[in-house]
A and B are shown apart, each in its own frame.
Chain A
């Protein structure tokens, strides 16, 4: 189901997947945050963020991902990422995101490990 111009949401019974396209900066990050919080309010506490089509992520975009991790933690939820480039994965590990969210090569693995 298409939600926003650059964001797609796929809802399953026990989890939801958010996929973004483009440059994850403050504006796309705000859209992402809105979609993630809507899913959390609907009761989804297991989320996957697929970054396969996300060409670049700046530090502001990453700070918004951290806020989503915090929100999910308040609901005892889980977040897994997939589709990262090697540079994105390196940055996520440096910023300690990998300690609080899983990083997987593809969506299937990310869902299986929720």
Chain B
């Protein structure tokens, strides 16, 4: 893979900046001929990953780096923050249950990402977190 097939984006952790990343992902996915539904799924996965970093990373530099890697039949994106890390086996936030037993308000981000994407890998430590996500094209 050459640098010609990569896009590198850095965004500050400001409100709604996740949309900048999602729009970039959308343009790349469209260029790669992903279908409309898949492009929306990619956007949502990017948004949820960015929001998780905004809310929980406590990043020192207050920014996120997103690397998009275009391959033949898949788009990989790696979203990195320089925060304090988290335990990937547990949810970022304690699920807040409502009066309905199966209807909780928060803590859905990672589950949404895993449902919509083909591969999700999280590398986390005290120097930061990288979430690597792969979405494959379907015919």
| Residues of A that sit less than 8 Å from B by CB | 23, 25, 27, 56, 58-60, 62-63, 66-67, 69-70, 73, 85-87, 90-91, 94-97, 99-100
Contacts and interface: CB of A to CB of B under 8 A. Distances in A.
B15 A27 contact: yes
Contacts of B94: none
Binding site of A, secondary structure by majority: helix, strand, loop or mixed? helix
B98 A87 contact: no
A23 B99 contact: no
Interface residues of B, number: 27
Contact of A85 (B40, B99, B103): B40
A58 B22 CA distance: 11
Interface of B: 15-16, 18-19, 22, 37, 40-41, 43-44, 47-48, 51, 98-100, 102-106, 108-109, 111-112, 115-116
A87 B135 CA distance: 14
Nearest to B96: A63
B103 A87 contact: no
Contacts of A25: 16
A86 B47 contact: no
A41 B68 CA distance: 47
Given A85-B40, A100-B100, A100-B103, A94 B111 contact: yes
25 contacts: A23-B19, A25-B16, A56-B19, A56-B44, A56-B47, A58-B44, A58-B48, A59-B51, A59-B108, A59-B112, A63-B105, A66-B98, A66-B103, A66-B104, A85-B40, A86-B37, A87-B40, A87-B41, A87-B44, A90-B116, A91-B44, A91-B112, A91-B115, A94-B115, A99-B100
B55 to A, nearest CB: 9
B41 to A, nearest CB: 5
Contacts of B116: 87, 90-91
B112 A94 contact: yes
Nearest to B109: A59
A99 B102 contact: yes
